[in-house]
Amino acid sequence: MKWAGNKYQILDRIKAVLPPGRRLIEPFVGSGAVFLNTDYERYLLADSNQDLINLFLTLQGEGAEFIGYCRSFFTGENNAEGRYYELRQEFNTTSDTRLKSALFLYLNRHAYNGLCRHNLRGGFNVPFGQYRQPYFPGKEMRHFLTRADRAAFRLADFRETMRLARRGDVVYCDPPYVPLSATANFTSYSSGGFGREEQAQLAELAQELAGRGVPVLVSNHATEFTLNAYQSARITCFDVQRFISCDGANRGKVEEVLALFGDKVIV
């Protein structure tokens, strides 16, 4: 998946500080980059984006047949502005979960800049991306299937998911990031938003779980707010290249933080 904040480019840094354990819990699974590139015995993968979770569940359940179905939407005929808006409208109105999941992947690859954005009525409203030949991620979907038998996917709020953690678990949180400025907030990818109150609650839950022997790693922008919220954690800061921005000239480096609450898994 194209995904704002995709962690593929900093996987080595994440894996260097992510503690070992029996099960990895991700309350904000997003594109699944960490899940697909780590080797825990089991995974609990959650998100508040229903379309994303339905796509993962459908792929997990149907396997290769669903990959073929998704591929059928990646045609030259469908890579046209008028057809894109027809399929976007179908996505916004259908109640067929299988069709909606396939169209979600189509929109992810054909929409402008890989954005996932909804209007106040919940309709996907990202404009056409005008790509010459959108990439179909068949190889990545097949890799997903080699690991899906270890994973449980659920549509859930981060608080609900984190409360399911038990000794032997490790939690990795990649929440919508604290904006660097008043005009830089591209993180509201699900209804309800994710403001300072939720950021503070996440830090409090991370500290609580660490006190019970469940380490929690959180990634975010390195700002005065996050560094204060994560002051009880072990902090690592580094620069990272930003790839998703409406203004290509502003896709520069920003400072990222990895905050580890608790060092070792207690079983």
Positions of E strands within 15-127:
23-26, 42-47
Q: Per-residue pLDDT for the chain (267 aa), expressed as one digit of tens each?
A: 888 767 878 899 999 999 999 999 999 999 999 999 999 999 999 999 999 999 999 999 999 999 999 999 999 999 999 999 999 999 999 999 999 999 999 999 999 988 888 888 889 999 999 999 999 999 999 999 999 999 999 999 999 999 999 999 999 999 999 988 655 544 443 445 788 899 999 999 999 999 999 999 999 999 999 999 999 999 999 988 765 544 444 456 889 999 999 976 665
User: Would you state the pLDDT for residue 190?
Assistant: 41
- Would you state the structure tokens that stand for residue 150, as one six-digit string? 């270890």
Domain membership of residue 145 (yes or no) is no
User: Would you state the pLDDT for residue 266?
Assistant: 63
Residue 33 to residue 151: CA distance in whole angstroms: 14
Contacts of 33 (CB under 8 A, 6+ apart): 6, 7, 8, 11
Residue 59 contacts residue 190 (beta carbons within 8 Å): no
Strand (E) or helix (H) holding 173: strand 169-173
Which own/partner pairs from 190-198 qualify as long-range (CB within 8 Å, at least 24 positions apart)? Answer: 190/47, 190/48, 190/49, 190/118, 191/118, 191/122, 192/48, 196/225, 198/158
Domain membership of residue 56 (yes or no) is no
Work out how many domains the chain is built from and give that number.
2
Q: Provide the residue range defining the domain that includes 82.
A: 61-139
What's the DSSP call for residue 113? G
Give the residue among 224, 212, 227 at the shortest CA–CA distance from 259: 227
User: Would you state the pLDDT for residue 34?
Assistant: 96
Which own/partner pairs from 250-254 qualify as long-range (CB within 8 Å, at least 24 positions apart)? Answer: 254/180, 254/221
Domain membership of residue 2 (yes or no) is no
Domain membership of residue 146 (yes or no) is no
Give the residue among 66, 72, 62, 108 at the shortest CA–CA distance from 88: 108
Residue 165 contacts residue 214 (beta carbons within 8 Å): yes
Question: CATH number, domain at 115?
Answer: 1.10.1020.10
Same domain, 66 and 33: no
Same domain, 228 and 202: yes
Same domain, 163 and 111: no
- Would you state the structure tokens that stand for residue 173, as one six-digit string? 């949180």
pTM: 0.90
User: Would you state the pLDDT for residue 184?
Assistant: 53
Strand (E) or helix (H) holding 37: none
- Would you state the structure tokens that stand for residue 19, as one six-digit string? 């503690």
Q: Of 139, 166, 184, which marks where a domain is finished?
A: 139
User: Would you state the pLDDT for residue 88?
Assistant: 98
In the chain, the amino acid numbered 108 is N
Same domain, 201 and 257: yes
Three-state DSSP string of 48-75: CCHHHHHHHHHHHHHCHHHHHHHHCCCC
